């Protein structure tokens, strides 16, 4: 990675996070003519994806392109495709991390790996970015640190006794024959499927019934990829689904875990329950620099900028506008050029090359084109 320092010690932009959002918006900055930037990554490029359970794959399919020029759903940069690079339709996390690393290396992105950002503060007309190893200064900050490294660990009594699915290296390594999975959306069904394929008994509890939702939006209903796995005979044989059955508590006595669900139902297992409860997200680390929406998410300007701290931008799955939720790569990449253009304009750069982003669905100004109303 290019790690050249700027001469005056002040960057035009510091991007926090080198996952899909961080790498993608850094590429957009380059298209906008911004060279004086750095991407800070607490581990390595694509580390969150590399930390997925080994068996987990993208639910959104990858294809190189088509006759009308649509970009690969999982691409973060023009003229790139995970499908073409990896020769797979549904990449694993490890494979996708390698795709991000290739982009970073090929385009010469300026990335500081193993740089843990611990605080961002507004100072005069710029920002102070405190890391575990020192301090950086910047005119603008783009927070793109994602969600996966910040799993939601609470929600009911005894949740600390469970194991979040984001912390599992591989389902093959889990010992035991009788599993409880709390959460029936994509991560929960993914866990149940891989355990069922190994002959394990699995019970899945959810407050709703996502496997029966009728919607084409994968933010609401399970994806076709996941529905196909639910129809697998092994899943049908080994997995019991409990809809509208919220878990109220988990206790452990003498190595036996008791799960109490709605209407006083009680279930026992000798294996720590698996919690597919979603993510708090990294944005909580900078929440004090944003106003809050009624739903608890961060309030953004039309350019994805903080409404109270000018120069601070949000990028990634935590972006919200009205009822628009950008929780998949093909959704939040629509906003890369919006952020890059706003920053380039403030720096007096024309950002003409960003017009090319319109070729793959980047809407630079009009939020009415952002996408479906959805709930992650």
- For residue 272, give both structure tokens: 């720590």
Q: What integer pLDDT is reported at residue 357 of this predicted model? A: 67
- Which helix (H) or strand (E) element contains residue 337? helix 336-346
pLDDT score recorded for residue 375? 31
> What pLDDT does residue 27 have?
96
Phi, psi angle pair for 314, to nearest 5°:
-115, 140
**pTM of the predicted protein model:** 0.91
Confidence at residue 64, expressed as pLDDT on a 0 to 100 scale: 85
**DSSP 8-state code for residue 245:** -
Give the pLDDT of residue 5. Answer: 46
What is the C-alpha separation between 301 and 282, in angstroms, rounded?
A: 19
* Distances 147 to 85, 203, 222, 279, 330 between C-alpha atoms, Å: 25, 26, 20, 6, 16
Collect the ranges in the chain with pLDDT lower than 70.
1-8, 65-69, 217-219, 355-376
For residue 69, the model assigns a pLDDT of 63
pLDDT tens sequence across 31-71: 999 999 999 999 999 999 999 999 999 999 999 865 556 78
User: What percentage of the chain's residues is helix, strand, coil (to nearest 5)?
Assistant: 30, 25, 45
Residue spans in the chain of domains classed CATH 3.50.50.60: 10-149+279-369, 159-275
* Residue range 259-307, pLDDT digits in tens: 999 888 999 999 999 999 999 999 999 999 999 999 999 999 999 999 9
How far is it, in rounded angstroms, from Cα 305 to Cα 141? 10
| Dist. CA 351–CA 33, nearest whole Å | 6
Token pair belonging to 316: 């990634």
Per the CB < 8 A criterion, the answer to whether 31 and 353 are in contact is: yes
Distance CA 176, CA 170 (A): 14
Q: Which backbone phi and psi does 355 adopt, to 5 degrees?
A: -60, -25
| CATH level 3 topology of 159-275 | FAD/NAD(P)-binding domain (3.50.50)
* Contact between 329 and 338 (Cβ < 8 Å): no
Largest CA distance in the chain: 67
Query: Can you give the pLDDT at residue 220?
Result: 72
Q: Which stretches of 54-110 are DSSP H helices?
A: 82-86, 93-106
The CATH classification of domain 10-149+279-369, taken from the options 2.60.120.10, 1.10.40.30, 3.50.50.60, 3.40.50.300: 3.50.50.60
- Nearest-CA neighbor of 176 among 57, 257, 246? 257
- Element (DSSP H or E) covering residue 218: none
Give the integer Cα–Cα distance in Å for 115 and 62: 31
């Amino acid at each position: 990675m290019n790690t050249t320092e700027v001469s005056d010690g002040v960057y035009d932009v510091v991007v926090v996070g080198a996952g899909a959002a961080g790498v993608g918006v850094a590429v957009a900055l380059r298209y906008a003519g911004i060279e004086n930037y750095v991407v800070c990554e607490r581990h390595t490029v694509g580390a969150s994806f590399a930390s997925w359970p080994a068996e987990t794959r993208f639910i959104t399919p990858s294809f190189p392109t088509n006759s009308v020029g649509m970009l690969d759903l999982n691409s973060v940069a023009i003229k790139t495709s995970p499908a073409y690079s990896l020769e797979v339709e549904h990449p694993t996390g490890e494979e996708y991390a390698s795709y991000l690393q290739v982009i970073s290396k090929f385009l010469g992105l300026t990335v500081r790996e193993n740089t843990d950002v611990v605080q961002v503060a507004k100072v005069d007309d710029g920002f102070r970015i405190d890391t575990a190893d020192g301090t950086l200064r910047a005119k603008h900050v783009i927070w793109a640190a994602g969600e996966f490294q910040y799993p939601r660990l609470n929600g009911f009594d005894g949740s600390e006794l469970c194991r979040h699915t984001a912390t599992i290296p591989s389902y093959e390594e889990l010992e035991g024959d009788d599993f409880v999975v709390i959460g029936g959306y994509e991560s929960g069904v993914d866990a149940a499927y891989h355990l069922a394929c190994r002959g394990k008994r699995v019970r899945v509890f959810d407050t709703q019934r996502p496997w029966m939702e009728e919607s084409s939006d994968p933010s609401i209903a399970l994806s076709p990829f996941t529905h196909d796995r639910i129809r697998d005979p092994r899943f049908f044989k080994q997995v019991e689904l409990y809809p509208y059955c919220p878990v109220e508590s988990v206790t452990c006595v003498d190595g036996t875990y008791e799960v109490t669900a709605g209407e006083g139902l009680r279930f026992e297992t000798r294996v720590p329950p698996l919690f597919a409860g979603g993510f708090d997200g990294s944005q909580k680390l900078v929440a004090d620099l944003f106003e809050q929406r009624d739903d608890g998410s961060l309030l953004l300007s039309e350019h994805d900028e903080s409404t109270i701290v000018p120069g601070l931008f949000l990028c990634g799955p935590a972006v919200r506008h009205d009822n628009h939720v950008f929780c998949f790569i093909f959704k939040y990449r629509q906003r890369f050029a919006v952020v890059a253009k706003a920053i380039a304009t403030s720096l007096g750069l024309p950002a003409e090359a960003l017009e090319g982003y319109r070729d793959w669905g980047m809407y630079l100004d009009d939020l009415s084109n952002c996408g479906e109303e959805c709930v992650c």
